[in-house]
Amino acid sequence: MKAGIVGATGLVGREMLSVIEQRNLPADEIKLFASKASTGRTLDFRGSALPVEIIKKSSVEKGMILLGATSSQVAREWVPMALEAGATVIDNSSAYRMDPGVPLVVPQVNPEAAGQDDRLIANPNCSTIQLVMALAPLMEVAPISWAAVSTYQSVSGAGSRGIGQLQAEEKSGPSYGGFHRNVVCEIGEPEHDGYTFEERKLVHETAKILSSSFPVYPSCARVPVMVGHTESVTVSFTRPVPCRVAAEALAGFPGVVVKERGFQPLGTPGTDSTFVGRVRNHPMDPCIVQFWVTADNVRKGAALNAVEIMEMLLKS
C-alpha cells in the first residue's frame, strides 16, 4: 500500500501519521504533503525522517490512498487533481461531506455507505462523529422523535491556532471574546437564521450518516479546554425507554465506553473511545433520555476515523 497525508504538518495531519504508525498499517510508502511554507520540513515515522513536499499531480500514483487534513478551500483544489491521478481520497474537510455522491462515513456506524468503487470518502465533523456514535445504538432501542445537543468544544477544534491563542491568553490574562476563562457561545458567524455553519454540520451530517429523518437541535460553544469535545444530549423516543436499557445499548456498541461518574473531557486526550456518562431519564417524561458524550476531537473526531476508513478499504 502507498499512502499520503495532505496537510501533514497540521494538528490533524500529524495525528494521522501517529495513528498510522501506532496501528501498524502495512504502508510500503507514505508521502507527506503540505503548503509551500512547510517545504523542507521532515516528520518522524517508524524511525525515519520523511520529507514534506507540495502536492502535484505527478507526485500522486494510481491506487494511492490519500488522507486529507486541509481546509475546505484547499481541498477543493487538490482533491480533484488527486482523483484524476487515480488516487483514493479520504477527506477531513467539509468540502464534500454533503455531496450526495460522496459517502460520509463513521466505520462503526455506517461502513456500508462506502462501496468498492467510491474513490472519495468524506470524514465527518468531529462533533458529529461522537454524536452519531451515541445515537446509532439508541436507534436500535426505539424510534427517535428528535435529539437536542449542546456542544462544549475545545480550542483544538480551531487547530494549532486555537491552541496557541489559549496558551497566549493564559499568560496575558482573559480578554473579551477570547478563550481563556470564557465560554464563546458561537463557533463561526451566525447566518441569516441565527445558526452557525458548525451547528448546521450537526443537523445535516447526522441525518446523512444515520439515514434518519428526526430533527437535531444543536447549540455549539467553544470552551477553554485544549483537547476533548463534550456534548450534552437529550433524546426523545416515541415510547418510554428506561435509562438502564439505553445505557446497556450504549455500552454494547463498539467504541463506546459508559462511565456514570468522574466524567470529564480531560480524561479523553490520546484515547480512541467515545465516552458516555450520566445516562438518565427525565423525571417527568420516561420517553426522554439525557446523557453526556465526550471524545478526543483531534484523534477520534478526525485522525482516527480517517485511518479506520482506510483500514476498512484495505479489508474490502
Active site residues: 126, 229
178: Cβ–Cβ under 8 A, 6 or more apart, which residues?
A: 165, 169
Q: Which residues pair with 45 in a beta bridge?
A: 48
CA distance 176 to 142: 44
List Cα–Cα distances, 219 to 9, 110, 200, in angstroms: 31, 25, 10
Q: Which amino acid is at 215?
A: P
Q: Which candidate, 169, 177, 140, 134, places its Cα nearest to that of 278?
A: 134
DSSP 3-state of 179: coil
291, containing H or E segment:
strand 285-295
The three three-digit cell numbers of residue 170, written as one number: 493564559
Write down the residue that cell numbers 423516543 correspond to. 237
Q: Which candidate, 281, 272, 309, places its Cα nearest to that of 138?
A: 281
- Residue pair 156/226 in contact (Cβ under 8 Å)? The answer is yes
Strands (E) located in 56-209: 65-68, 88-91, 120-122, 144-153
CA distance 13 to 304: 11
131, containing H or E segment:
helix 126-139
Write down the residue that cell numbers 478551500 correspond to. 73
194: Cβ–Cβ under 8 A, 6 or more apart, which residues?
A: none
